[in-house]
Structure 1
Amino acid sequence: MRLVVADSERCVGCQSCMFACSRKNNEAGLSKTSLMVKSVGGIKNGFVIIVCRACEDPSCVKVCPTNALTKREKGGVFVENSKCIGCRYCLDACPIGAVFWDDEINKPMICSHCGYCVNFCPHGVLKMEKGR
């Protein structure tokens, strides 16, 4: 299963998905979230949801010099923090900016496609679907 943005037009920018993700990562605020809701002009012009799109051939994995990132079988990327050296190559390699950074431990945060955030979106913007 992988997380997908089902209907970004329905997003009202409440950030409930971000808070849920951060909470799943044992953080009360937004510093540990692996997705981002960004305004493209507020309610009038809408919002964009930035989250790992489970690339077929993830560029973030390709640039990792320590193999700390591995492609998940059904899409997405797994981060093995013990192998990560904090070089930030993955951060720069993602074409949609879906690699976020944990400054506290100097490691990347990438959506694991767990689906936890889906349950907290009041407007059905996010959903889980079968992987490729």
Structure 2
Amino acid sequence: MAKRLRYDMNACLGCHTCSLVCSALSGYHSLGASAINIKTKGGLQGKFVCVVCSGCTENISCMEACKTGALKARTGGGVVLDKSKCIGCKECISSCTTRAIHYSDNLDHPIICRQCGTCTKYCPHNCLYLEEVE
């Protein structure tokens, strides 16, 4: 059964372990190469929010905006990037309804969550988890 990344940010301390683990999968140890963006709602004492691909299953705007077919629907929601087809037009970034896609100049392609769940294994407070979907 397919799985999709979900989160409960009530226990998040903003340690960015999930973001760093995600970026390490691409060969970089940088928040800029992560598909997960942890930030505050505002102020030093504000709660943290997680900006990550929501795993759309219908009307996948980033995929629809891709002119070259570099983004394909993933079973269970979200998309899979074929880097060899990506031309760096960044249309997927501006079309993403959750603003979860960003472009890495170092990697020369958009950073999009693959819903792999590696980040869930390293979150010290279990804020991230994989949900089974049909």
For residue 53 of structure 1, what is the aligned residue in structure 2?
54
Offset of residue 131 of structure 1: 2.1
Using structure 2 for the length normalisation, give the TM-score.
Answer: 0.91
Offset of residue 114 of structure 1: 0.7
Provide the rounded CA distance (Å) in 1 between the counterparts of 2:125 and 2:63. 32
Query: What are the superposed Cα offsets for residues 71-105 of structure 1, whole Å, 9 maximum, x if unpaired?
Result: 10111110001101111000000011111211124
For residue 77 of structure 1, what is the aligned residue in structure 2?
79
- Mapping 1:12-31, distance limit 5 Å: 12-31=13-32
2:57–2:76 contact (8 Å) kept in structure 1 = no
Provide the rounded CA distance (Å) in 1 between the counterparts of 2:26 and 2:13. 23
Using structure 1 for the length normalisation, give the TM-score.
Answer: 0.93
- Give the count of matched residue pairs: 131
Q: Once the two structures are aligned, what percentage of the paired residues are identical?
A: 37
Larger CA deviation: 103-112 vs 70-79: 103-112
Kindly tell me: are residues 43 and 129 of structure 1, through their superposed partners in 2, closer, same or farther at Cα, counting changes over 3 Å?
Answer: farther
For residue 63 of structure 1, what is the aligned residue in structure 2?
65
Offset of residue 47 of structure 1: 0.8
For residue 11 of structure 2, what is the aligned residue in structure 1?
10
C-alpha RMSD over aligned residues: 1.3
For residue 94 of structure 2, what is the aligned residue in structure 1?
92
Offset of residue 15 of structure 1: 0.5
Query: What are the superposed Cα offsets for residues 3-48 of structure 1, whole Å, 9 maximum, x if unpaired?
Result: 111x112211111100110112211222321110011135622011
Which one of the candidate residues 123, 126, 129 is aligned to 2:128? 126
For residue 110 of structure 1, what is the aligned residue in structure 2?
112
SS of the residue corresponding to residue 130 of structure 1 reads strand
Larger CA deviation: 103-112 vs 65-74: 103-112
